Structure 1
Amino acid sequence: MTGPRNPRKNKTSISKKGTAPAGGETPTEFRLQKFLASAGLGSRRQCEELIRTGRVTVDGLPVENPGINVNPLKQVVEYDGERLKPERLKYFVLNKPKGVLCTNHDPAGRTRVIDLFAKERVRLFPVGRLDEDSEGLLIVTNDGDLANQLAHPRYRIYRTYRVQVAGFPTNEKLQQLRDGIFFREGKFQVISAKFAGKQGKSAYLEIVLGQGHNREIRRLFARIGHKVMSLQRIAFGPIRLGKQKVGQYRELTRNELEELRSILERNKKTPPKGPRSGGSGNSSPKRGSKGAPKGRRKPEGSGRKPEMAGSEEATPQKKRIRRPNNSPTVGASGGKSGGRPSGGKSRSGYGSSKPAAGKKKTKTYDFH
């Protein structure tokens, strides 16, 4: 009996980590923990724990390795004897109300974002977070790969907020936000900050962030002495909130999803240009970020190090060694005609006033 050319292909993917089953290059293949998460059993980390308990089987065989590949169309994946199927990927835009939490687990039993999607009957999670006191646009999906890309600063998906603050920040204070302020987690910095109106003794501003830290906007304005009274996210990349009512959600259109993916693909290939860490290639350039500042000369040649701008030794002169073909006329005092005064010394102490002997060529060393 003749067996297959490659005996590994006759085994299921549970035999070795990362070994694909027959036809393993089809797009319907998943890592096991990812497939379980897409089937609604929990997060990937939770699914890894479920796999290690031995309650998951592939083609009737128990599996304890979460990193194997499975093809749900050609293999039977079961959890406690029930066959699992991948869920259809869904993408929603929610206008999150105040008082609703972005976490998927709250011991206090408060209202969560996923509670607003109870009729969808799929496992969903929000992309990023809006704190309990904030409202506005929130993308909710079951596509973990897309969610990770949207939340990662490497892909530079900007978030736009409409913020109401007490008082009227000066241009100097707004510039502090653009330049960045250091906190325990690192440097917090806005892409742009501009006035959008006023009401009584408060001002409305439009703030654009390149990445989101915990309560970043509130902490930035507290540092410059202005309390945030209300905060609403009005855009996430190309996705706009528009006139969507608070508490309502809708599915992303095909055009919105394609535009979002095209931006992710473009920013993945284009490295950030700004000075900001993990920052924003689409942002307007900051002062001094374009080329070298005035006063700094680009070194000529690969062997020289760049000099410090503004230093007295910014452009040190090279050591000069003169070896003239024809010896100049030497005066009685030993000084060259047109050179240093007789009896003088060079700055380094070389080239004393002793006369040259015979027709030996003179060498002048000038160190700076």
Structure 2
Amino acid sequence: MSDTETRGERIAKFLSRAGISSRRDAEAMIEAGRVKLNNEPVTHPAVFVKPGDMVLVDGKPVNEPERTRLWRYHKPDGLVTTHKDPEGRPTVFEKLPEDMPRVISVGRLDLTSEGLLLLTNDGALARELELPTTGWLRRYRVRVHGGVNPEVLKRLENGITVEGVKYGPITAGIDSVQRSNTWLHMSLKEGKNREIRRVMQALALPVTRLIRVAYGPFQLGNLPRGAVEEVNGKILREQIPFLRGK
């Protein structure tokens, strides 16, 4: 019998795998008193959940984590990537099909950004795919206002610091010029909050449209705007070593 079967797994990890939240958010939920184990309040994230235990979040039972699944979603602009928005703006998760299970996003796309957003029912997988150490490229098509000197883009290859924040290497090149706008292709591995917009603004090239076309081996392709499509389980395990032993 494995150690996990005898001792169980930490409750924050259990909630993450169940698609309730990330581990960090699960710890915040525990601290806020929103989680119970066998009807007893959970006060520390080191509590272990064993098979047959009953876990409640906000009084609602949490089902045992299902098999890991991943979806490609073509996010339109005008949606925020959060489950609840304090400003009342429409969210990605409100627009998903009703038959979708509870999912969380792999990283985020901001309100005015669009394109490929990966969704999963496994918080541990989401965390793994977000890490820069995973080494996956995020690829984008970016429209900026103004003409672009290719030499300026080369400044990004070794990283750049903007307002005290250091951004890692970014590969960028010109695709086309349309009147006062220039379309670029850009690739990066880290993906900090609003990274492309902030970096390009520092180069005096404000972004007017941003489309993510790939996240690691997964492509936006011809997926229609607003559509969601599950990744085949066999392909998922072929592309993600993290899952091969699961």
TM-score (norm 2): 0.83
Which one of 219, 229, 248 corresponds to residue 227 of structure 2?
248
Report how far residue 133 of structure 1 moved: 0.8
1:77 to 34, 54, 62: 54
Higher Cα Rg, which structure: 1
Change (3 A) 1:29 1:172: same
Per mean C-alpha deviation after superposition, the further-off stretch among 118-127 and 41-50 is 41-50
Q: Given the alignment of the two structures, is residue 56 of structure 1 paired with residue 56 of structure 2, yes or no?
A: no
1:174: Cα distance to partner? 0.9
Structure 1 residues 153-192: aligned runs within 5 Å: 153-192=132-171
Amino acid aligned to 2:138: R
- Alignment partner of 1:34: what SS? helix
Deviation >6 Å, runs of 4+: none
Alignment correspondent of 1:123: 102
Identity across the alignment (%) = 33
- Structure 1 position 163, deviation (Å): 0.7
Q: Report if the CA contact (8 A) 1:36-1:47 is conserved.
A: no
Task: Give 2:64's aligned residue.
Answer: 86
C-alpha contact (below 8 Å) 2:20/2:123 kept by paired residues: no
Counterpart Cα distance in 2 of 1:78 and 1:192: 45
SS at match of 1:232: strand
Cα distance in 1 between the residues matched to 2:42 and 2:196 = 46
Q: Give 1:68 deviation, angstroms.
A: 2.8
The aligned amino acid for 2:173 is K
Instruction: Write the distance in 1 (CA, Å) between the matches of 2:186 and 2:59.
Output: 51
Tell me how far apart the structure 2 counterparts of residues 215 and 177 of structure 1 sit (CA, whole Å).
15
Number of positions where the alignment pairs a residue of Structure 1 with one of Structure 2: 238
Q: Which moved more, 1:203-212 or 1:102-111?
A: 102-111
Tell me how far apart the structure 2 counterparts of residues 182 and 108 of structure 1 sit (CA, whole Å).
31
1:106 corresponds to which residue? Answer: 85
The Cα shift of 1:46 comes to 4.3
Give the conservation status (yes or no) of the 8 Å contact 1:87–1:122.
no
Query: Unpaired segments of 5 or more residues in structure 2?
Result: none
- Using the alignment, how far apart are the partners of 1:54 and 1:186 within structure 2? 36
Gaps of 5+ in 1: 1-21, 266-368
CA distance in 2, matches of 1:94, 1:54: 30
Residues 78-98 of structure 1: CA distance to partner in whole angstroms, max 9, x if unpaired?
539876421423311111000
Relative to its length, the structure with more strand (as a share) is 2
Which of residues 32, 37, 44 is equivalent to 2:11? 32
Q: Secondary structure at the match of 2:239?
A: helix
RMSD of equivalent CA atoms? 2.9
Q: CA deviation at 1:186?
A: 2.6
Q: How does 1:10-21 map to 2 (within 5 A)?
A: none
Q: Structure 1 stretch 81-90 or stretch 161-170: which is displaced more? A: 81-90
Instruction: Between the two structures, name the one with larger relative contact order (CA 8 Å, sep ≥ 6).
Output: 2
Asked if the contact 2:138/2:215 (under 8 Å) is kept, the reply is yes
Structure 2 CA distance, aligned partners of 1:258 and 1:55? 33
Alignment match, 1:203: 182
1:239: Cα distance to partner? 0.4
C-alpha distance after superposition, 1:220-247 (max 9, x if no partner) = 2222222212110000001011001111
Comparing 191-200 with 132-141, greater Cα deviation is found at 191-200
Task: Give secondary structure in 1 for the equivalent of 2:229.
Answer: strand
Mapped pair 1:140 → 2:122? no
